[in-house]
């Protein structure tokens, strides 16, 4: 074949049944809703309403007050892959492949209708799987306004000057996977609410990102901050930057408070995403939208010592091609140059969590100044715990024992030590169980009772006070020494 000869080509158009096949891409309901909301963010919306039918046939809809679309723009929006993933996008554009809205919606429903309003002019377009298969053609249905009255959310859209309503009808997949009762749909709605609250939590007006008010059936969706960044006990590092292809990737590590230090409502917030061990790791944000979370990207394994560490990673959409972002925007892999830096930073960023785990309940860097009840005995990879017989509580008790009593007491301590429930405690704490704390007032009463016993044995008060003030658990009581003095009326 001569180089100037035209190539012989055969045009092979996909069968319209491809739409049916695309439903199995793997979207959950909540991920599908979030993908639709991405379009609302890109449209400059300041309000997004997720609507779920309260009765009757299952319907879901996402309404925004963004710029809306003309008829031509609406048709382009409903066209599969109308924009190349390699095309440069606006920094706030959360799209990627030009597939999200369609594939996300049709993964849940058989009828996708977009009603968009721009400068008070309404355009309504519909993909119907049954219609496409019947006519064997990639044909959109264009609807008249009088055909829209019964659709969930249309009346709210009608009150806006500009905006877009994405309506899901014939929610067959939802019925199959979740159940066909209203209670099943309500349960799904709660999952959707929590997912949106997490994924778009930075769009709260307080994070340097524009505010978007999001609601579910009229009720505000309260953002879920996975870093507990406003909590007093949360620690964070300064921003760290990685420059790649002239673009900035930013990282900041957060160390959550240890679970026992939190009030019940704060504890519920910390565990909102699941067990701490399962939610540690990198939290990847693309244009301020959370994409992937609780993943160390294979730079280090999950560990008990790192379970309080959550690292925010901000990437611009201009680096999508390097992060292997998938259609659902639920999976990404860092490029090699970023992975190397993440690997270097990860161990440093998890050190505060490790320190909290190792010294929880104790005053860090002051372990030599206090007497602890238990001491760790380490032999290679093996370890055990022994009761500290020099602890004032133990030594005061044993000083008046006879040799036979002391021998018997030592055997009791050995039995206690050898049966310390290490594995049970580990399993409970790995599941974020919280050890029951002793009330400060009880400890103070216990110290006073200890003094009465010590006094009867002729122990000097000042010596006793100094010893008990630096001993566990009394040294953990706030302002113990002064409170003990007051109780003794010194």
Residues 44 and 163 in one domain: yes
> pLDDT class for 353, splitting at 50, 70, 90?
low
* pLDDT reported for residue 97: 36
Domain assignment of residue 7, yes or no: no
Residues 405 and 346 in one domain: no
Residues 311 and 414 in one domain: no
Residues 348 and 207 in one domain: no
* pLDDT reported for residue 216: 97
Residues 288 and 322 in one domain: yes
Residue 69 contacts residue 304 (beta carbons within 8 Å):
no
Q: What percent of the chain has pLDDT over 90?
A: 34
pLDDT in tens, 234-270: 999 999 898 888 888 999 999 998 887 788 888 888 8
**Cα–Cα distance, 162 to 153 (Å, whole number):** 14
Residues 300 and 248 in one domain: yes
Cite the DSSP H helix spans in 148-220. Answer: 154-158, 172-178, 182-199
Per-residue H/E/C for 286-329? ECCEEEEEEECCCCCCCCCCCCCEEEEEEECHHHHHHCCCCCCC
**Cα–Cα distance, 70 to 80 (Å, whole number):** 18
- The CA distances from residue 373 to 108, 254, 423, in Å, are 58, 31, 20
Domain assignment of residue 141, yes or no: yes
**Phi, psi angle pair for 196, to nearest 5°:** -65, -40
Domain assignment of residue 10, yes or no: no
Last residue of a domain, one of 336, 359, 382: 359
Residues 211 and 266 in one domain: no
Last residue of a domain, one of 308, 328, 359: 359
Residues 465 and 339 in one domain: no
Domain assignment of residue 332, yes or no: yes
Cite the DSSP H helix spans in 180-325. Answer: 182-199, 264-270, 276-279
**Domain CATH for 348:** 3.30.230
User: 3-class SS at 281?
Assistant: strand
* pLDDT reported for residue 96: 38
**Cα–Cα distance, 139 to 128 (Å, whole number):** 9
* pLDDT reported for residue 416: 86
| Cβ-based neighbour number of residue 170 at 10 Å | 18
Closest CA to 35 of 80, 91, 115, 99: 99
Mean pLDDT of 432-449: 78
Residues 137 and 243 in one domain: no
Domain assignment of residue 241, yes or no: yes
**Domain CATH for 93:** 3.30.565.10
**Cα–Cα distance, 30 to 64 (Å, whole number):** 17
Number of domains within the chain: 3
Least confident of 76-85, 132-141, 359-368: 359-368
Last residue of a domain, one of 220, 244, 273: 220
**Cα–Cα distance, 35 to 61 (Å, whole number):** 13
Domain assignment of residue 347, yes or no: yes
Mean pLDDT of 142-166: 94
Mean pLDDT of 155-162: 94
In terms of Cβ atoms closer than 10 Å to its own Cβ (0-12, 13-18, 19+), residue 44 is middle
Domain assignment of residue 5, yes or no: no
Residues 32 and 137 in one domain: yes
Residues 189 and 87 in one domain: yes
Range of the domain at 446: 368-487
Closest CA to 464 of 477, 453, 479, 478: 453
Domain assignment of residue 8, yes or no: no
The one-character DSSP state at 120 is T
Residues 375 and 270 in one domain: no
Least confident of 176-190, 227-241, 260-274, 429-443: 429-443
The two tokens of residue 391 are 């602890």
């Amino acid at each position: 074949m001569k180089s100037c000869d035209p190539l012989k080509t055969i045009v092979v158009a996909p069968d319209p049944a491809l739409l049916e096949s695309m439903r199995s891409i793997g979207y959950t309901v909540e991920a599908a809703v979030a993908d639709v909301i991405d379009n609302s963010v890109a449209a400059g919306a300041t309000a997004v309403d997720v609507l779920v039918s309260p009765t009757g046939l299952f319907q879901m809809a996402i309404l925004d007050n963004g710029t809306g679309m003309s008829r031509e723009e609406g048709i382009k929006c409903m066209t599969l892959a109308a924009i190349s993933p390699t095309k440069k996008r606006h920094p706030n554009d959360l799209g990627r492949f030009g597939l999200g809205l369609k594939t996300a919606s049709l993964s849940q429903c058989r009828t996708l209708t977009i009603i968009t309003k721009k400068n008070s002019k309404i355009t309504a377009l519909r993909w119907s799987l049954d219609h496409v298969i019947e006519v064997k053609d990639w044909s959109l249905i264009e609807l008249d306004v009088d055909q829209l009255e019964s659709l969930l959310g249309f009346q709210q859209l009608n009150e806006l000057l500009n905006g877009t309503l994405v309506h899901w009808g014939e929610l067959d997949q939802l019925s199959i996977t979740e159940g066909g009762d209203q209670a099943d749909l309500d349960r799904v709605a709660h999952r959707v609410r929590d997912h949106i609250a997490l994924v778009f939590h930075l769009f709260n007006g307080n994070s340097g990102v524009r505010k978007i008010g999001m609601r579910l059936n009229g009720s505000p969706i309260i953002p879920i901050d996975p870093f507990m960044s406003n909590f007093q006990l949360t620690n964070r590092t300064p921003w760290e930057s990685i420059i790649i292809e002239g673009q900035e990737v930013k990282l900041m590590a957060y160390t959550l408070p240890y679970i026992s230090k939190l009030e019940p409502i704060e504890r519920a917030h910390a565990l909102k995403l699941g067990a701490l061990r399962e939610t540690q790791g990198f939290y990847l944000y693309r244009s301020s939208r959370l994409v992937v979370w609780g993943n160390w990207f294979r730079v280090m394994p999950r560990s008990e010592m790192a379970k309080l560490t959550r690292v925010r990673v901000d990437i611009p959409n201009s680096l999508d091609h390097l992060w292997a972002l998938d259609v659902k925007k639920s999976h990404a892999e860092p490029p090699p140059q970023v992975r190397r830096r993440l690997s270097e930073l990860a161990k440093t960023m998890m050190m505060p969590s490790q320190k909290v785990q190792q010294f929880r309940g104790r005053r860090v860097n002051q372990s030599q100044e206090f007497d602890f009840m238990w001491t760790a005995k380490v032999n290679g990879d093996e370890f055990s715990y022994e009761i500290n017989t020099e602890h004032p509580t133990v030594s005061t008790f044993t000083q008046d024992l006879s040799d036979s009593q002391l021998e018997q007491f030592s055997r009791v301590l050995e039995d206690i030590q050898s049966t310390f429930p290490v594995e049970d405690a580990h399993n409970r704490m790995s599941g974020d169980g919280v050890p029951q704390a002793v009330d400060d007032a009880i400890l103070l009463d216990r110290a006073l009772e200890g003094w009465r016993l010590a006094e009867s044995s002729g122990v000097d008060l000042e010596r006793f006070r100094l010893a008990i003030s630096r001993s566990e658990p009394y040294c953990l009581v706030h302002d113990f020494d002064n409170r003990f003095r007051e109780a003794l009326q010194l």
